[in-house]
Structure 1
Amino acid sequence: MFTALKAQNKPAFIGYLPYGFPNPDDSLTALKTMVEHGVDAVEIGLPYSDPVMDGPVIQAASQIALDNGERIANVFRAVETVANAGGVPLIMSYWNLIYHYGVERFATDFENAGGAGLITPDLIPDEAGEWIEASDRHGLDRVFLVSPDSTDQRLDIVARNARGFVYAAARMGVTGERSTIDASPQALVERTRKAGAENVCVGIGVSTAEQGRKVGSYADGVIVGSALVHTLLNDDGRTARDSAEGLACLASTTEELAEGIHGARI
């Protein structure tokens, strides 16, 4: 993905949605819609009962998915859907879910479904030996996070052990839409590249086409979550929107973001 996009001088647009939200069937349609309207890779979130990094929008969506009875074994349908639509399927999951499912079992099922890589926000390379071995066996990318307060030593460890890309958190704290993005992500991207990372993607707080264009001018990819999830929620921020309205809003928002991100270097 990155090689092809770099040849076109474009950053990658990575969009996030939790699987099972707003319901199992519409979730698959939503993932496909994102790919059809400009997302290059889809970060499929595994709903979790204690999402320490997630802000209120993603927490609400994840709770709806959990209430729908979604569990890790079902997510591979979503992986297949994204792959068949022509997108790159990623999974974002807290490590506890993968550990209890079985690391080797997960890697096998993920590879068989057409998966590309796993983003683990609460797993550091120092404690990821089992996953590093399994991902090597199954040819899966492993994406670790860095933040503005990461030391140079930490960046070096992450860069040496990550594959695919490094996820650079634009700021400390939970996910969510932000009105502005300061200069700290650009400095973090530069430091992470200096540590040896081939691709660095920025997420957490990117919510508009203008922000995506700004971040895409220096990052290898731009990750958008809450702004996309928000399109499928009612104004109360807790319940799912009417399916047709939500999917139409998701499509238009995805297109707008894609135009900004992919046009960042024009």
Structure 2
Amino acid sequence: MELFKKYKGLILLLLMSHVFLSLYGCSLNKQYSQKEQKVQEETAISCIEAINYDLNDMVDYFAPNVVFVNILPDGTKETIENREGLMTIISNMIKDDVKFSVETIKHENGLVVIEGRETDYLTELKELKKGIRYSCRFSFDNGKIGYIVYEENKDDKKLLDSSIKGVTGMYLESDGEKIKITECPVGQSAEKSGLKQGDVVESVEGMKVIEMRHGTEEAVNRIRGPVGTKVNLSIRRNRKLFDVELLRN
């Protein structure tokens, strides 16, 4: 007891120092955590924005063994388990003029979650100009993106799919210069309207095929539309140019 009284001041000082250091340590950890979260947010946003501009800017964001999971509307998952495979997917997005906007960013269970909208030539074409809502979740491995889960909004995706569900019953093929009809199945709209194998599609709803950046794919998607609607084509057969209106079934 006498010993305690003798060193009471020193003991209290040590206890206060311990409490102070503990609180200071917690403060530093909190500051570090906030700083780390900020860096992760900036990396995730930069990754999304790089798709809009330059593929080469993206490689350094990903860990070599990065895993990418795409959740499809029916709930099934497509998984890529390496950086090379992911870069191939992103390269195809860039070719298709896919653009991403960032609307919100937050942290959930240790993940960075970005939500925004995805647009491409097809959403522009089918009057979904605001794009498809998406959610992208990132986890990090030593400062690099190690895991990505991407999911498109099911309602928006369903709306886009319905906008190209109606078809006219013809098959197209490009020879590098022209887009020709290769087949018109009997009983379909194209065959009923008198179209034949070898006919050349010059334009779709006034848009010339030669001006379509995405070639045959874009021509097909422009011809498609909601079931029950109609589409106007300009067709060249030998030297004769004529217009035809087809019903989408």
The verdict on a shared fold, with TM-score over 0.5 as the criterion, is no
Of Structure 1 and Structure 2, the greater helix share is in 1
* TM band (smaller chain): under 0.3
Greater RCO (Cα-Cα under 8 Å, separation 6 or more):
1
